[in-house]
Amino acid sequence: MTPLSVFVTTLDNARTLEACLASVAWADEIVVLDSGSTDATLDIAQRFGARIAQQPFLGYGRQKQRALELTAHRWVLLLDADEMLSSDAQAEIRALLAAVPKAAGYTLPRHEQLFWRMSHPRVRHNRFLRLFDKTRGAIDDLPVHAAPRVDGPVERLRGAFYHFGETSIRTKVAKVTAYAAGMVAGKRARHGAARPWMMLVYPPFAFFRAYVLKRQYLDGWAGFIAAVVMAFYAFLKHAQWLEAERFEGEPGRRMPAGAPPVVPPPREPV
C-alpha cells in the first residue's frame, strides 16, 4: 500500500481537532504544525501520535507549505483542523492507496456545517484538491484561500469530507470580513484600479449563485442566511478595494478644520 502523510495546521483547535485526527488515525503519519496554541490542541495531537512542530504563523499559504515540507511520504492529505473525513472518504482513499494512485491529485466534495445544521446532501458542494503527490505539487502562496496546486491530471473522489468551522452567523461574518480585507493587496496588484460598479452587480449574482445554482435553498433558513453572507462578502471585497484606493488618493477630503488625522485601516494579510 502507498504510505500516506496527513498534515494539519493548528491554533487553539481543541474543539474540532479530535474529530479531525480520529478520521485519519489509520494514516502512516500525521504532522501537526502549530502556531502557539494555548488550549488542549497539542495534548490531543500527542494522543494521536502526531509529529508536532511549532511555527509562528506565516500566512495561510506559507504555513500550509511549511507543514507539507515536514511530511515524510510522497502522498499527502491536507485537512484543516476543523475538518474530518467521512467514513466513505476514508474507505475510498484507502482503496485508492492500495491500488497505487494514477493521477497527480484528487478532489473531494466538502459538506459544510451551516450554523445549527449540516448542509443538505443535494446541495452542490464545492470540491477541493486535498489528496496529492507532493513531488508534483505545492501550496499556493496566497494570504487567503490557499490551496494545493499540482502538475498533472486531477481526478474526483466521491467520498466527502466535513467542515465544522462556521458555527454561527457571527463567526461566518467575521471570517468573510477578514478574508475580504486580506484580498485587497492582491486585487490591487493584479487588477489595478477599483471597480465600484461591481458593488452593485456582484453581490446579487453571488446570492443567486449560492442560493439557486448551488441549491442552498435546500438548507432552509440556514441556507438563505449563508447565501446573504456570501453576497455581503462579494460586496466587501470591492468596497474595501475602493476604500484602500481612496485613502491613498484623497485622505481627509471635506474633513472640518481641527479634525483628528484620517488613518487608513490596517491591510496586513489575514
Nearest CA to 11 among 50, 60, 51?
60
Give the amino acid at 152. Answer: G
Name the residue ranges covered by the structural domains of the chain.
4-163, 169-249
**pTM listed for this prediction:** 0.85
Q: Are 168 and 251 in contact (CB under 8 A)?
A: no
Dump pLDDT digits (tens) for 183-223.
Answer: 777 777 677 788 889 999 999 999 999 999 999 999 999 99
pLDDT (0 to 100) of residue 143:
64
What is the rounded CA–CA span in Å between residue 112 and residue 174?
17
Position 267 scores a pLDDT of: 59
pLDDT in single tens digits along all 270 residues of the chain: 899 999 999 999 999 999 999 999 999 999 999 999 999 999 999 999 999 999 999 988 999 999 999 999 999 999 999 999 999 999 999 999 999 899 999 999 999 999 999 999 899 999 999 999 999 999 988 766 788 999 999 999 999 999 998 899 999 999 898 888 877 777 776 777 888 899 999 999 999 999 999 999 999 999 999 999 999 999 999 998 888 888 877 776 777 877 787 777 765 544
Q: Which fold has domain 4-163?
A: Spore Coat Polysaccharide Biosynthesis Protein SpsA; Chain A (3.90.550)
- Which string of b and e fits 152-173 if b means at least 16 CB within 10 Å? eebeebebbbbbbebeebeebb
